[in-house]
Amino acid sequence: MKKWLAILAGIVLMVPLAACGSKAVATTSGGKITESAYYSSLKGTSSGKQVLQQMILNKVLEKQYGSKVSKSAVTKEYNSYKSQYGSSFSSVLSQNGMTTSQLKDEIRSNLLLKAAVKDHTTITTKDINKQWKKYQPKVQTAEILVSKKATAQSIIDQLNSASSADRWKTFKKLAKSKSTDTTNKSTGGKVSAFDNTDSSLDSSYKKAAFALKTNEYTTSPVKTSSGYQVIYMIKNPGKGAKSQHIADLKEQIIETDMSNSTVLHNVVSKVLKKGNVSIKDNDLKNILDDYLTSSSSSSTTTTTTTSSSSSN
């Protein structure tokens, strides 16, 4: 149920362009490849242009919003990813061709972009009320995944037979012995805490989970794209009153905007225009035209269409 993060919300990864010069990037029996030759070749590619766009955006974002993104905020988010993947964290980084330093750089880039989105987003009472209708607080669950409905029902029957005081203990034992989800069976099937904005969990899983109170479990097998699941609610604080969650609702709206390409385009356009960017290489002079010549000049409005994923 874990999903590798698209850190930059559709913005390309940042890698350095080589400086223009005569120093060799590589030598061969057929001659050397200089920095200037490499640069000339790279800048003509779409990936090279995207890298430059990202480098420019990072510079202007850092100038305009750097003071709003602390080192501790980056570290906190980094640690949450590290905790999520546990012992497999290093291998996941390697599989994605990343180092810890690069991940931290991307986290900072994403937080800078988020600060810009907040700055250019007006959240109205109507937006808050709309988000409240779908709001669910962050809950902590555990799951047992099996391939057959009958197996899931058998697990539920065993839970039904256990005393209320022993059900969580029984559930953890069954998760370790029966679950086919190797990512969490050793921890009793515990799943990372989530709320209604989570897009990495199957919608059927979320719907069934949100209907449970603390220490309740699903009394019928839950069919998801991964198989059949039995879900145990470790902690559900309850929805409470809207007035208690205004900050959470605003945060959810911003997170939704962070996955909305139209909102991001408008925000990036405003940031770049304010950044007074001047392209010195004539071959690349039009690289930001899609943003700097945009006719969108009105204030960014929020959108609360939450994307969903069927992966679990």
Sign of CA dihedral 139, 140, 142, 145: positive
According to the model, what pLDDT value does residue 20 have? Answer: 54
- At residue 101, the pLDDT reads 94
pLDDT < 70 positions in the chain: 1-21, 294-312
Mean pLDDT of all residues belonging to the chain: 87
Q: What whole-number distance in Å separates Cα of residue 188 and Cα of residue 172? A: 4
- C-alpha 82/C-alpha 75 separation (Å) is 10
Topology of domain 136-235, CATH: Chitinase A; domain 3 (3.10.50)
Per-residue pLDDT at 8 = 37
- pLDDT tens per residue across span 69-119: 999 999 999 998 888 777 788 888 888 888 999 999 999 999 999 999 999
pTM above 0.75, yes or no: no
Kindly provide the residue ranges of all beta strands, DSSP E only, lying in the chain, ordered along the sequence. 24-28, 31-34, 121-122, 139-146, 190-194, 222-224, 227-235, 300-301
Q: What length does the chain have?
A: 312
Contact 212, 220 (CB under 8 A): no
What is the tens place of the pLDDT at every residue in 255-280?
999 989 999 999 999 999 999 999 99
Q: Which two tokens stand for residue 267?
A: 């925000």
| Predicted pLDDT at 303 | 37
Domain with CATH 3.10.50.40 in the chain: 136-235
pLDDT digits (tens, 9 = 90+) for 143-155: 999 999 999 999 9
- Say what the pLDDT of residue 3 is: 39
Phi-psi category of residue 23: left, alpha or beta, with phi > 0 → left and psi -120 to 50 → alpha: beta
